[in-house]
C-alpha cells in the first residue's frame, strides 16, 4: 500500500518495463530496489532519506583532496547531482575541493543480484583528474571510517589459516616464508581478519556459524561497478571494473585462465583489457579496463554488475559463485570464483564472491593516488549526474536487508556504535576495542565450536 510521505523500496517512478530484466545467465530477475531521483530538491543529510545518507567527512584512506559535504549531493532535473567544486580551504576543512558521496550504509543492502546505475560522467576524455565511482562494500565496514574497516576490508574469507593472520604470516612458523612474503615489496600489510573463522568461542563476533560450529569468517569485500578516469596521452576514457579482496595470492596475482577462471567479452565500440594493476599491500585487485564510449560524457549510459553469490553451505556441491560487469546491456568481463580460489604458494584458502550484505556508494572524488590531477586544465564545478539506481535479484529469491539472519550485522554494529559514528576513530584500538582472540595466535581456552 502507498503511505503518504513514505516511499517503499521500489520508486513509483520506475517504468513498468524496468520491473524485470533477463540476467546474463539467462534467468529472470525482478526489481527489488530503485531510485529514479525524479523529485527535485531532495537532500541527504542524516535523517533526510530512508535509504541514502551523504557523507560529511574527509576520505583520507585514498589521499583524497576533497571534503565530502552533504550539500554536494542534491536532486535536480531528474538526476542525483554530485558536484565537485573548488573551495577556499579556510572554510572547507583546509581542503581545496568539496564534493558529494552518497551511501546506503546500514539502510539498504542486498546479497547477490544485479546492481545497475545510469549516469553521465563529468569532464572529458582529454583531461585527467576526476574520480567518479559507483561501488559496494559489505555492511560491517563503513567507508571512510577507519576504525570499522581495519581488519575487515577487503576480506572475503571463511578459512582458518595464515590468510586470516597479520601480514598473512603463520605466527608460530613464519610460513609461507620470505620468498613469498617479500616478493612484491611485502605481500600484505593487513592486520589480520578481525572476524575470522579462527575466532574463539565466546569472543566478540557478529555470527553466524558454520555447520561445524565455528564462526563464519566475516568481513567487507569491495566491488567496484565503475571507477572512471581519463588517460590524457590517448585522450581516452576508461572504466575500471574490479573486485578488491583479501587475503592475497602469491605475487597478488589471481588465477587468469580465459574461459575457465574468467571471461572477457568483445563489444562494438568498447575495448576491454585486463588491468595490469593487481593491488598493493592493503588489497588485492582483480580488474579489467574498458574504454568509455565518447558519448558518455554527453549522454547517459548504464553500468552494471551481476553478483551470483554462493552460500557457504553450498561449498561442497561445487556450485560456483561468479560476477559479471557490464556497460549498457553488454557484459565486459566475468570473474568466476575459481579465479580467487585456494593458493598453495601463499598457503591460503579460497576467497568468495561476496556472501555479505552489500551497500551502495556513489561519489565523485579527486586524488593523485588514482589518476594524476591536471589542475591547470580541469574545469570546475564538475558534475556527476545519476539518472537512476536499480537492484534486481533472481525471481523468487529476494534477499534485501543489511542484517540477514545468516549474515547478521545489526547487533555487532550497535555494540560498537562509537566506531561507526565517529569518523575520527581511525583504528579499532582507538574505539577502545581489541581484536577477538583466535585459535592460531592466542589459542582458545575452549574449542572454537
As a whole number of angstroms, the distance between CA 164 and CA 437 comes to 12
- The CATH class of 16-431 is mainly beta
Dihedral angle computed from the Cα positions of residues 35, 305, 138 and 121, in that order, rounded to the nearest 10 degrees: -60
Task: Supply the Cα-derived Rg of the chain in whole angstroms.
Answer: 21
Residue tagged 583524497 (cell numbers): 64
Give, for all 449 residues of the chain, the pLDDT tens digit. Answer: 445 556 899 999 999 999 999 988 888 999 999 999 999 999 999 999 999 999 999 999 999 999 999 999 999 999 999 999 999 999 999 999 999 999 999 999 999 999 999 999 999 888 999 999 999 999 999 999 999 999 999 999 999 999 999 999 999 999 999 999 998 889 999 999 999 999 999 999 999 999 999 999 999 999 999 999 999 988 899 999 999 999 999 999 999 999 999 999 999 989 999 999 999 999 999 999 999 876 544 445 555 666 554 322 222 222 368 899 999 888 999 999 999 999 999 999 999 989 999 999 999 999 999 999 999 999 999 999 999 999 999 999 999 999 999 999 999 999 999 999 999 999 999 999 999 999 999 999 865 55
The domain limits of the chain are 16-431
Q: Model-level pTM greater than 0.75?
A: yes
Three-state DSSP at 439 gives coil
For residue 5, which phi and psi values (nearest 5 degrees)? Answer: 85, 0
As a whole number of angstroms, the distance between CA 359 and CA 317 comes to 28
As a whole number of angstroms, the distance between CA 73 and CA 94 comes to 20
C-alpha closest to that of 10 among 32, 39, 37: 32
C-alpha closest to that of 229 among 374, 80, 102: 374
Q: Is the peptide bond before 208 cis (omega within 30 degrees of 0)?
A: yes
As a whole number of angstroms, the distance between CA 240 and CA 257 comes to 20
Amino acid at each position: 500500500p502507498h503511505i503518504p510521505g513514505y516511499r517503499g523500496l521500489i520508486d513509483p517512478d520506475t517504468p513498468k518495463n524496468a520491473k524485470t530484466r533477463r540476467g546474463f545467465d539467462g534467468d529472470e530477475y525482478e526489481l527489488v530496489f530503485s531510485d529514479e531521483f525524479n523529485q527535485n530538491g531532495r537532500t541527504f543529510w542524516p535523517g533526510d532519506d530512508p535509504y541514502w545518507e551523504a557523507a560529511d567527512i574527509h576520505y583520507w584512506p585514498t589521499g583524497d583532496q576533497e571534503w565530502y559535504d552533504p550539500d554536494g549531493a542534491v536532486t535536480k532535473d531528474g538526476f542525483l547531482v554530485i558536484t565537485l567544486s573548488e573551495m577556499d580551504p579556510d572554510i572547507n576543512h583546509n581542503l581545496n575541493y568539496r564534493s558529494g558521496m552518497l551511501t546506503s550504509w546500514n539502510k539498504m543492502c542486498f546479497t547477490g543480484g544485479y546492481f545497475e546505475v545510469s549516469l553521465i560522467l563529468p569532464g572529458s576524455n582529454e583531461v585527467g583528474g576526476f574520480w567518479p565511482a559507483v561501488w559496494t562494500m559489505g555492511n560491517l565496514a563503513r567507508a571512510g571510517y577507519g576504525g570499522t574497516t581495519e581488519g575487515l576490508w577487503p576480506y572475503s574469507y571463511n578459512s582458518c589459516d595464515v590468510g586470516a593472520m597479520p601480514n598473512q604470516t603463520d605466527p608460530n612458523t613464519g610460513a609461507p616464508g620470505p620468498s613469498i612474503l617479500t616478493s612484491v615489496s611485502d605481500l600484505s600489510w593487513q592486520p589480520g581478519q578481525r572476524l575470522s573463522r579462527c575466532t574463539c568461542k565466546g569472543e566478540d563476533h557478529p555470527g553466524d556459524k558454520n555447520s561445524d560450529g565455528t564462526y563464519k569468517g566475516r568481513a567487507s569485500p569491495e566491488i567496484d561497478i565503475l571507477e572512471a578516469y581519463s588517460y590524457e596521452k590517448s585522450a581516452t576514457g576508461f572504466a575500471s571494473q574490479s573486485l578488491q579482496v583479501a587475503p592475497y595470492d602469491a605475487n597478488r596475482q589471481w588465477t587468469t585462465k580465459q574461459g575457465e577462471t574468467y571471461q572477457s567479452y568483445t563489444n562494438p565500440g568498447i575495448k576491454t583489457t585486463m588491468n595490469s594493476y593487481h593491488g598493493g599491500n592493503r588489497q588485492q585487485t582483480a580488474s579489467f579496463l574498458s574504454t568509455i564510449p565518447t558519448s558518455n560524457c554527453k549522454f547517459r549510459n548504464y553500468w552494471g554488475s551481476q553478483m551470483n553469490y554462493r552460500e557457504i553451505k553450498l561449498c561442497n556441491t561445487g556450485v560456483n559463485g561468479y560476477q559479471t560487469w557490464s556497460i549498457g546491456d553488454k557484459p565486459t568481463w566475468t570473474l568466476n570464483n575459481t579465479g580467487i580460489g585456494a593458493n598453495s604458494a601463499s598457503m591460503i584458502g579460497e576467497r568468495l564472491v561476496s556472501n555479505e550484505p552489500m551497500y551502495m556508494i556513489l561519489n565523485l572524488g579527486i586524488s593523485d593516488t588514482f589518476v594524476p590531477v591536471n589542475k591547470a586544465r580541469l574545469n570546475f564545478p564538475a558534475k556527476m549526474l545519476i539518472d537512476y539506481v536499480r537492484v534486481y535479484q533472481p525471481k523468487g529469491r529476494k534477499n534485501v536487508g543489511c542484517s540477514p539472519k545468516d549474515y547478521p550485522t545489526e547487533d555487532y554494529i550497535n555494540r560498537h556504535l562509537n566506531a561507526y559514528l565517529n569518523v575520527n576513530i581511525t583504528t579499532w584500538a582507538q574505539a577502545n576495542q581489541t581484536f577477538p582472540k583466535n585459535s592460531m595466535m592466542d589459542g582458545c581456552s575452549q574449542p572454537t565450536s
